[in-house]
Structure 1
């Protein structure tokens, strides 16, 4: 069994530190090979559909077949990743994609594939990728100590950018001299490499003493966690606003090269190469940048660079002027992707990690998709430079979102379960599905301290809602204003038990501030109530109609 990652002194951390962990190193190499195979597959699939049909719509639908599964499945996949054994889920998704790619390659080489067949297999591969994405994102924090995580995520970004640069070129050579079928087969083999590495990972599965969540409840819990986590939805708002504006470069770059600069596809490839080179080069400056700039400053730098990128694409008269712009854009892209991804992951406890990451991925990709449609429509109805300038203006305005939605640093958060709430001693048996449950906590607070207490308890109420409560609030005794009762309402007894294990040591500091205002000689009184028909040791009153005539 592979030992858990050991702490690393901050002074010794660098970009190469994640590679000192053998399992991360093996998975990174396997992932690089798999990413190259995926980019080879993308080129071969589009090319094969192009030669199998004269329909422009079918060719355009290749992008839809690739991205639609992520839109449909990313959030459910996140819930599944939190409910199931992540190692087994990865083995399933990697094996499924290997089978689909191999079957597509075999049918292609046999001459038994059509354009609709390629689209269908592309959609199936997209489903595998959508199910794989959230759980794949969550394994890096299990392999790497928290201080090294930003560098590990940067290396993951480098893997994707290297594959983006190398994969299409290799795929194009194989298509030119052989057949797209061989590309599909090689992609199938690339998944097998990752499958073997994951299979060798003897992951220790934590045994939980609380009732398991069901699928629908897990989905709701993930959405609720985002809703009541200001740090998370601040990142989501900033990520959406950036991806919406930055999508103009990705959507309109080929049109700038072909129509405005009147150049061929090779020039477009060179532009992408400069972009990839900037992203890879940016990885080597990650440590310096992260130490010198906060995450809010890094986001602002990326916004300024992409504003300049859009304006450069609109006005620069020659391709060679755009090469350094693309290089800087690649550096900025890697920097902001790493900043968003790292900050999201550092804000998440393990129990909800994959669900919230899937929501983050959906929001970011949604911004890219909506932005591409918006800027493309503007370019069609008005002009290319108007679309690019509008995207630049959007990005500049989005910088002001840092005022209401600042991104909080998360490196020092302690999100391990506090496990400090004692389980109540109950009379009789309570089924985990019994409920609803109402929990009341009674405080005695000095009248002079009530305003400060209210501010502190409001934060605690938000935590109750975040961790599973359907309703929560604070009431004051009208006959004795010093007696204040906090309540929260939970759907089932099992969900309340899960609340006990979701409360983190970081949350404990907020609860401690609230309890500090309590002046009673004993701790605040905690009372649990369960819905009357299911309550143990309580006689159920007869219906009203049976009581008529009784005195």
Structure 2
């Protein structure tokens, strides 16, 4: 059976028509975006030769993602994702139309270029979590990981085509035509999204509002220790690796003496290397775990930065950037896959938004920082400093292992409905939940350790306060308590508990010595009338 048709194969998602159409449209749309970015970066070198100004274009594109990714993730989880994506594509097309008009009329200035790049970054911030969150809707469950990898491959196919095509269009026809090609690519993406036969969201009495969903997403992020590891590893890697992206236009122009077309070829080499890296990724995963892959990506990226600082011949620069592309897709897919693996579906958009916030925050801060270092130490000096820092950080962070991501995050639905004397208004709260256990003395230490693990689950799924108490008259009676902000949020909590959480709860209940299950009580806040 071919790889395309076999369920779970690397290219199996492409056998599913909806994913295939949207994937192809996305590749085309990203190709246009890379063409636009090449034109903007190169035009900035015409408008200003300052390393800080050139790096500011990169920062203007990534800063909005840092600022808005989390709100975008909330919108991803509560809005119709298809309509939301269409609206964002219209916004991005409008940005490119504005750039095209200004370029054709000769009115494009430094401030206008940075401002419109920032606006395009807002569109990217709104779009990023949504594109990633729709993957489970488009493919079978067993093909999700392959679909995520194919999305990364698609981005790098676009990276290999877009920059080179953009550089050639820019050199031959000017920025106006290059921006116009980007506008056309957005029209194709919009058409694919309009065609997508997505079922309408069913009415849900427990649907979250924006601010409630925002708070729930932040609570999950604060309580998820596996996600913390992924975020820290990503922040350190991208903060150092951003040096190459912030300074590459100046590397092409000043160190290598190239023109706009050559800059596009360099970026195309990165994309081509990423495609090669994606194709050999299954073999690499057989030999190395996630931590080994990330360390290898850091070392290769650092060596590329060091090689470029020596102003090598153009042919050598193209070759080393092929290796950069392979290292870059290895890091991206490793970290993104680790983040996806520790997130349940109900908070996937928000969790991925936090990941994107960290990623783009590191890239933004890195771009600004490396631009300043380039001003002080020169472009070669900044690249060498970044290379040394990346290698040191890579080996230090290698000791902090990425989560395996093998927990079953599918909802278990094993919690019984809470008992109520009469219907409870969804907005009533806060709610206090008490769970009474009977634990024999010789099991106490192990029980409390398991209960501590359970506390993270409570907080991830909606609790904002948690604690444990004992009965002063009978220390074997231990009461776990936690609070949620409303009755509706507690009902959502019932639906969020995963199979992995159910296993954790079963382990905890093994220490309960009572003949019946632990007693669970729910207490609602009483709104007392004010005194006259």
TM-score of the superposition, structure 2-length normalised? 0.89
Distance 1:147 1:199, change over 3 A: same
Correspondence for 1:299 among 290, 294, 298 = 294
Q: Distance in 2 between matches of 1:472 and 1:152?
A: 38
SS at match of 2:296: helix
For residue 210 of structure 2, the aligned residue among 193, 207, 215 is: 215
Offset at residue 211 of structure 1 (A): 2.2
Aligned equivalent of 2:458:
464
- Mean Cα displacement is larger for which, 492-501 or 289-298? 289-298
Please say which structure displays the higher CA radius of gyration.
Answer: 1
Q: Distance in 2 between matches of 1:75 and 1:532?
A: 34
Which string of whole-angstrom CA distances, capped at 9 and with x for unpartnered residues, describes residues 148-199 of structure 1?
3333223222322232332244334444555544443432232222222222
Q: Deviations over 1:474-531 (max 9, x none)?
A: 1122221111100001111111111111111111110111111111111100000111
The 2-side partners of 1:315 and 1:181 are apart by 35
Distance in 2 of aligned mates of 1:233 and 1:15:
29
Task: Give unpaired runs (5+ residues) of structure 1.
Answer: 1-7, 535-539, 547-551
Distance 1:73 1:532 in 2: 37
The answer for the alignment partner of 1:247 in structure 2 is 242
Q: 2:168 touches 2:261 (CA, 8 Å); kept in 1?
A: no
1:170 aligns with 2:168: no
Instruction: Label 1:130 to 1:341 Cα distance change in 2 as closer, same or farther (>3 A).
Output: same
Pick from 520, 524, 528: which aligns with 1:526? Answer: 520
Query: Could you say if the C-alpha distance between residues 48 and 156 of structure 1 is closer, same or farther in structure 2, counting changes exceeding 3 Å?
Result: same
- Asked if the contact 1:282/1:334 (under 8 Å) is kept, the reply is yes
**Aligned mates of 2:107, 2:293 — CA distance in 1:** 47
Task: Measure the CA separation in 2 of the matches of 1:307 and 1:169.
Answer: 24
Counterpart for residue 413 of structure 2 = 419
2:192 matched to which residue of 1?
197
- Alignment of structure 1 residues 63-212 onto 2, 5 Å: 63-102=58-97, 105=100, 111=105, 115=109, 120-176=115-171, 178=173, 180-205=175-200, 207=202, 209-212=204-207
Post-superposition CA distance 1:55-89 (Å, at most 9, x none): 97987765454333323322111111111111121
**Cα displacement string for residues 341-389 of structure 1 (whole angstroms, at most 9, x for unaligned residues):** 1221122111111111111111111112222333333343245555334
Q: Bigger relative contact order, structure 1 or 2, given CA contacts below 8 A and separation 6+?
A: 2
Is residue 96–residue 183 contact of structure 2 (8 Å, CA) maintained in 1?
Answer: yes
CA contact (8 A) 2:55 2:247 kept: no
Q: Distance in 2 between matches of 1:85 and 1:48?
A: 37
Residues 43 and 332 of structure 1, relative CA distance in 2, 3 Å threshold:
closer
Match of 2:352 among 350, 357, 371: 357
Aligned length: 528
**Is the deviation greater in 420-429 or in 37-46?**
37-46
- In structure 1, the residue matched to 2:225 is 230
Distance 1:483 1:333, change over 3 A: same
CA distance in 1, matches of 2:361, 2:457: 28
Alpha carbons of structure 1 residues 228 and 210: separation in structure 2 relative to 1, 3 Å: farther
Structure 1 residue 483 and structure 2 residue 477: aligned?
yes
Distance (whole Å) between structure 1 residues aligned to residue 107 and residue 247 of structure 2: 32
Alpha-carbon distance between aligned partners in 2 of 1:254 and 1:46, rounded to the nearest angstrom: 7
Query: Which of 262, 269, 277 is matched with 1:282 structurally?
Result: 277
What do the CA deviations read for 1:123-156 (whole angstroms, capped 9, x no partner)? Answer: 4433222211111111123222344333322322
Correspondence 1:26 to 2:27:
no
Name the CA distance, whole Å, in 1 between partners of 2:263 and 2:290. 32
**CA–CA separation in structure 2 for the residues paired with 1:184 and 1:278:** 25
> What is the SS of the residue equivalent to 1:527?
strand
CA RMSD of aligned residues (A): 3.1
CA shift digits 1:281-320 (9 cap, x unpaired): 1121122122332211211211222232233334575554
Residues 413 and 205 of structure 1: is their aligned pair in 2 closer, same or farther, counting only changes over 3 Å?
Answer: farther
- CA gap 1:298/1:114 in 2 versus in 1, 3 angstroms: closer
Tell me if structure 2 keeps the 8 A contact 1:154–1:286.
no
